[in-house]
Structure 1
Amino acid sequence: MTHEDERPIAANAQDRVTWALRRAEWAVQARKDQRLRPLGIAAAQYTLLMSVHGDPGLTGAELARRLNVTPQAVASQVARLEERGQLERRPHPRHRHVQELHLTGAGLDSLRDADAMIVEIEQRIAGKLGPKKAAQLRTLLDEVADVVREA
């Protein structure tokens, strides 16, 4: 198959802010996976557990929207975490076909252990940047998120 479209890719494509954000995200995710692996938790599972901890009673569909993944991806992770006794489904008080997600005691323990590993990554980043730059970065990233949501 040939591509006859002659439109060039911008010379600075890999210097864009969005590309820099993606490279940083890949690096952080890779480090999270590396640090969490000995605990038997993937970075995606940590994110899911953290989300349920922060907002107990989320449904799988709500969690999928929040994490920007497919409902099937959430269902697969939920099933794994449920098999391990870290997450449980409870009936929704008003909708009989909807199930809410809640951490179990084991899930909270796992989340605490995982979060200790993530704190080390955070501290390394903040230590390299220093307090002022780390605060600026958080502010800038919040602004980026706001701009993208408004678009």
Structure 2
Amino acid sequence: MPSRRPEEAASGTPWNQTFSHSMWRANNSVHRALNERLRPLGVTMTQLGIVMKLDQHGPLSGADLARGQNITPQSVTTALSHLERIGWIERHPHPVHRRVVLIEPTEAGLRGMAEGRRLVEAVVERLCEVVGGAEELERLTLGMRRIAIALDGPDSPVARMWPDPPEPA
């Protein structure tokens, strides 16, 4: 019988003490904490992120959101159905490309987004304490951005696949 488990064999370190395990566990923990904090609003962090993206970039299609958020079209469709059901978004046909549906936040969605950002900030403040202050949190954030860029490339630019109609002359 081997003296070490296979995951320890490569590095000599138990898996639960490795960077990959720590990153995985921290990701799950932060994701859970954010979603728990957002529960009173009836949204998840993914859904809140979609409304923030719409607020930042204006009306977008579901395909635009999937590309811009780096999530599957199916996940976007599910999130949008829920956001529409709770009144946070509206869907409108594109003025030129009638088969394209544009999504935009409602006033209720913008108010919910503002409250969601406040709730998320409470989690961030707790993380700031955990890592030893604002400077350390900023260093950690920079490191995570570097990791994401190294693995996935720079943030996907959010560009509408369907251009706006020309301005009337």
Q: TM-score, normalised by structure 1?
A: 0.82
The partner residue of 1:144 within 147, 153, 163 is 147
Summarize the Cα distance change of 1:15–1:102 in structure 2 as closer, same or farther, 3 Å threshold.
same
SS at match of 1:147: helix
With a CA cutoff of 8 Å and minimum separation of 6, indicate the structure with the bigger relative contact order: 2
1:104 paired with 2:106, answer yes
Bigger-Rg structure (1/2): 2
Query: How far does the alpha carbon of each residue in 1:59-89 deviate from its partner, in whole angstroms, 9 at most, with x for none?
Result: 1112123333321221122122112221012
Summarize the Cα distance change of 1:94–1:21 in structure 2 as closer, same or farther, 3 Å threshold.
farther
* 2:133 equivalent in structure 1: 130
In angstroms, what is the RMSD of aligned CA positions? Answer: 2.0
* 1:19 equivalent in structure 2: 21
* 1:89 equivalent in structure 2: 91
| Structure 1 unaligned blocks of 5 or more | 1-7
Instruction: State the distance in 2 between where 1:146 and 1:35 align.
Output: 28
Which range moves more in the overlay, 121-130 or 67-76?
Answer: 67-76
Q: TM-score, normalised by structure 2?
A: 0.74
Instruction: State the distance in 2 between where 1:107 and 1:50 align.
Output: 9
1:100 CA drift (Å): 1.7
Summarize the Cα distance change of 1:41–1:149 in structure 2 as closer, same or farther, 3 Å threshold.
closer
Alignment of 1:1-80 (within 5 A): 8-9=6-7, 10=10, 11-12=12-13, 13-80=15-82
> Which amino acid letter does the alignment assign opposite residue 139 of structure 1?
L
1:14 CA drift (Å): 4.2
Higher normalized helix content (fraction of residues): 1
SS at match of 1:102: strand
